Structure 1
Amino acid sequence: MFKALALSMLVTALVMAQALVAQARPESFADLAQTVSPAVVNITTSTTVARGTGSGPVLPDGSPFEEFFRQFREREEGEGGEMPRPRRSSALGSGFVISEDGYIVTNNHVIERADEIIIEFYEGGEMPATVIGTDPKTDIALLKVEADNPLPFVSFGDSDVARVGDWVMAMGNPLGQGFSVSAGIVSARNRALSGTYDDYIQTDAAINQGNSGGPLFDMDGKVVGVNTAILSPNGGSIGIGFSMASNVVTRVVDQLQEFGETRRGWLGVVIQDVTTDVAEAMGLDMVAGALVTDVPDGPAAEAGMMAGDVITSFDGVKVPDTRELVRQVGETEVGKTVRVVVFRDGGTQTLKVTLGRREEAERAAGAGPGGDEPEAAPEPEAMMGMTLAPLDDELRSQLELANDAQGLVLQDIDQTSEAFEKGLRAGDVITEAGQQEIVSIEDLEVQIDAAREAGRKSLLLLVRSNGQPRFVALTIQED
């Protein structure tokens, strides 16, 4: 009797569990779509372009259509070599209203270079829009329409709580077909495509051309992403779409609304990821952090940061890699003084850095070549698969380096060597070894011996390729 009762209870529990799983999938998205649709808009842009700027059809030599297209182009461009007449080009996209007074979010690429922007509302009617501000780095734009009455709008949700497997719904104007809804799940989180501040939600909800700038909703009707891109071999949806996470978008929108532009924090360092061999060469316990390769004039330099430091913590948050550090810095208020923990000389130090503004710092400055009398070139020497020679005036001139540039120039390299495999090439300049400046072959030999005595298997080199610094760890050969 007891066994039969226990079996019955188990069967009941399994049936209830299956019912709960079935209930996890919504029976319909109709109520949600009806609620949020009035805030979703179609966007049509017009741009004036010059005729004749395209290359036209590609035809094989001797094609019977060559004469036809030649005459067609002549009619388009006018007779007697007249300048081609300009024409209007239109494009379509999507967006959504975020406030009753008419602020609208879309993608920057939807409205970029547009002369005219028309907003079409779900419930009918059109309005012209003006651009409040854009951020090409996250592909976000903020528009504004002037309406006589309050507009229906939607709010942003917290994209950080979205989990892989959660249901989401995309809305927009795919392929110019008008308002359309598609549903799917969150396929992945924290995707990076090509931008510095990328943080995309990946979804299998159908996203096509024209969906760009439209919202990705969670089941509470909150916007957790802005539909931006798809991965597709044919231009259509294959179930891999990307939406910029709302927690990135809200920070950008707030700044565009307040300032008309973004104002990101700037630390003032050139960094690279810490690899396993670099960690071993530096004596780091973990393969994490951001390795500083250069410290130009700026906030970090003023705080005493040095090339060779490994940033392990920024403003109280651990730094796993360079991508996260760039995001953390960019999201921090300009002018804020933060604590930055760095690993240096086998221990940690805490620096106080007052952040500058990245947009102001992006004005680049270059150094010119030198012009003093050349000195006799020293004999090159082969080491670690590289043929090296100290910089002299002639080499500085050839490489267009500053007069005071120091280091060893790589004149030739064994293509079977580890150095070649790690990207070193002729013309690169090694300025540091073992985090010590080097100006001669003897300096490099001293650092190799010091690394051996310390029991290290590799030596950390600071290499400048076309002026860009990076650290490379090379294995030390046994004596």
Structure 2
Amino acid sequence: MKKISSLILASVIGSMITFGVFYSFDVFDGKTLKIEHISSTGGNGAVLAMDKKGDLRPLDFTDIADKVMHSVVHIRSTQTGAIADQISQGQLPDPFKRFFKNGPFDDLFGPKYHFESPRVQKMPNLKMGSGSGVIINDEGYIVTNYHVIKDADDIEVTLNDNRTYKASVMGTDPSTDLALIQIKEKDLTALPMVNSDDVEVGDWVLAVGNPFNLNSTVTAGIVSAKARNINILKDRSAIESFIQTDAAINPGNSGGALVNLQGGLIGINTAISSPTGAYAGYGFAVPSNMVNKVVEDLLKYGVVQRGYLGVTIRGLDGNLAKVKDLELTEGVYIDSLMENSAAQKAGLLAGDVILKANGIDVRSAPELQEVIARYRPGDTVDLLIDRKGKEKEYEVKLKNKEGNSELIEKENTDMLVLLGVELEDLDKETSRKLDIEGGVKVKKLHAGKLKRHTGMKDGFIITKVGGERLKDKDQLIDILENTNGGVMLEGFYEDYPGVYYYAFGL
């Protein structure tokens, strides 16, 4: 029988940009056996696997691959930029030129008013990316990687049957490199999530995605390791506890599925480690338990509710154990505790070694981070710690990053997502400096109506909507939610003279 060196699981990753390290991840419950000769099936060299009943069966991926392919989509993102040559002093958006230019409104508004952003003579500068996504319910919700759709002005989703849709961003979590998007379609084939804690090193897995725009590519391999931290996410509060696989990961597979041999989703393919940017045998995926928590929070709260222990930690190893004179060589060592943190209030001390969190062994810092990331502020986590050779149990009530146990207040995110904007009220000092009352500042523009249909830029201060003066962002959102038709926003930029108007439809 021919020796099978390895069955590679291809989990392909991210947008078509080479990062040097890229993103990727699933599992099988039984042991895999290699049989030298099987007279009743297919002859020599057959590979069998033991099912949950203990029966041997041929290792066949065809049914699983067919099932999973219908739940994995191809995502194309487009980002539109512009090169500015000079400052605009009265440029009108094309749809409104025939109404406003050289007409009666010229005398009404006067030459100091502007109907466009402070830019003119724009040269289009398109950036296009490609990745994958996984349908998680029949209402059109799709999970992908944040880096696949980051700053995209247009997101296009193609199903396995070649149907194509425009997608909207419903929420993002840069800390885990996850994003939730939605298409307007129902009765889709969703992929069920399974408990990623049940994944074991050596389990068979399949990776499905769209590497190099090769639609619905399926590859196979095994789980090589768990709880990997490869320091690829640049977010300050990044949480990395990847499932590692020997799947072939390439640009375009980011956001794709890593599944077990029952077709259950165990991870979202996210990254690869490679000196060339192409497959080198090391792929990484976000575990499904973390994916499930992020998705639930985005759907329910609009933001991810994250609980914190309030400690600085590092994984315990032989060297650290020797320095700290510890008998243990596994666990999570607490270097320090923040003032008034959840851990401090519960009674933990610097020098404690965390062994378990809610009954789950945590032998490294990424494992602890992954477990804690499943809980929200106000949730209680039971920690088993070692303190100078004696085990103790503590009940810790997690806090948010503000230092209390309250959930982050849910903003009305639906309208903000539709517009693709982050807003903030003007503080008193800024209002006094600009000599205005009220007003709402555009903190950041993302993919959405404002970026797609207007020339608005970050930093625009909205003073009126439809002629009505604004006090705060809640008033603005309330007006927009009760508007059906055209909207006119009036305001200005701190660094440019005059008043600007932006019109769009709802």
Shorter-chain TM-score range: 0.5 to 0.7
Indicate conservation of the 8 Å contact 1:206/1:239, yes or no.
Answer: yes
Query: 1:263: Cα distance to partner?
Result: 1.6
What's 1:96 paired with?
134
* SS of residue matched to 1:88: strand
What's 2:214 paired with?
177
What's 1:440 paired with?
none
Q: Where do 1:142-291 residues align within 5 Å? A: 142-147=180-185, 149-194=186-231, 196-276=238-318, 279=321, 284-291=326-333
The number of residues matched between the two structures is 321
Q: Which amino acid aligns with 1:205?
A: A
Greater Cα shift, 311-320 or 284-293: 311-320
Query: 1:285: Cα distance to partner?
Result: 3.0
Indicate conservation of the 8 Å contact 1:283/1:346, yes or no.
Answer: no
What's 2:47 paired with?
22
Tell me the TM-score normalised to structure 1 length.
0.59
Indicate conservation of the 8 Å contact 1:105/1:142, yes or no.
Answer: yes
Distance 2:389 2:201 in 1: 40
Q: Which of 36, 39, 50 is the matching residue for 2:71?
A: 39
What's 1:385 paired with?
none
Query: 1:310: Cα distance to partner?
Result: 3.7
Distance 2:142 2:256 in 1: 10
Query: 1:314: Cα distance to partner?
Result: 3.9
Greater Cα shift, 129-138 or 318-327: 318-327
What's 2:146 paired with?
108
Indicate conservation of the 8 Å contact 2:289/2:374, yes or no.
Answer: no
* SS of residue matched to 1:210: coil
* SS of residue matched to 1:356: coil
* SS of residue matched to 2:132: strand
Residue 170 to residue 26, structure 1, CA distance change in 2 (3 Å): farther
Greater Cα shift, 97-106 or 303-312: 303-312
What's 1:373 paired with?
none
Residue 288 to residue 32, structure 1, CA distance change in 2 (3 Å): closer
Q: Where do 1:301-320 residues align within 5 Å? A: 301-320=344-363
Matched, 1:299 2:342: yes
What's 1:329 paired with?
372
Residue 258 to residue 279, structure 1, CA distance change in 2 (3 Å): same
* SS of residue matched to 2:184: coil
Q: Which has the larger radius of gyration?
A: 1
Query: 1:239: Cα distance to partner?
Result: 3.3
Distance 1:44 1:114 in 2: 9
Residue 331 to residue 358, structure 1, CA distance change in 2 (3 Å): farther
Q: Where do 1:323-472 residues align within 5 Å? A: 323-344=366-387, 350-358=393-401
Structure 1, unaligned stretches of length 5 or more? Answer: 1-12, 54-81, 362-479
Residue 321 to residue 95, structure 1, CA distance change in 2 (3 Å): closer
* SS of residue matched to 1:263: coil
Indicate conservation of the 8 Å contact 1:263/1:358, yes or no.
Answer: no
* SS of residue matched to 1:129: strand
Indicate conservation of the 8 Å contact 1:263/1:359, yes or no.
Answer: no
Distance 2:275 2:393 in 1: 49
What's 1:417 paired with?
none
Query: 1:133: Cα distance to partner?
Result: 1.4
Structure 2, unaligned stretches of length 5 or more? Answer: 1-34, 50-56, 86-119, 405-506
Q: Where do 1:38-117 residues align within 5 Å? A: 38-51=70-83, 85-117=123-155
Distance 1:20 1:159 in 2: 31
What's 2:438 paired with?
none
Distance 2:260 2:83 in 1: 44
Tell me the TM-score normalised to structure 2 length.
0.56
Distance 1:345 1:220 in 2: 44
Distance 2:81 2:170 in 1: 23
Residue 218 to residue 356, structure 1, CA distance change in 2 (3 Å): same
* SS of residue matched to 2:47: helix
Indicate conservation of the 8 Å contact 2:342/2:398, yes or no.
Answer: yes
Indicate conservation of the 8 Å contact 2:358/2:383, yes or no.
Answer: yes
Query: 1:182: Cα distance to partner?
Result: 2.6
* SS of residue matched to 1:160: helix
Distance 2:382 2:189 in 1: 43
What's 2:419 paired with?
none
Greater Cα shift, 283-292 or 273-282: 273-282
* SS of residue matched to 1:183: strand
What's 1:419 paired with?
none
Indicate conservation of the 8 Å contact 1:199/1:248, yes or no.
Answer: no
Distance 2:191 2:330 in 1: 39
Indicate conservation of the 8 Å contact 1:43/1:94, yes or no.
Answer: yes
* SS of residue matched to 1:101: coil
Greater Cα shift, 88-97 or 282-291: 282-291
Q: Which amino acid aligns with 2:308?
A: W
Q: Quote the sequence identity (%).
A: 38
Residue 108 to residue 343, structure 1, CA distance change in 2 (3 Å): same
Query: 1:327: Cα distance to partner?
Result: 2.6
Q: Which amino acid aligns with 1:140?
A: L
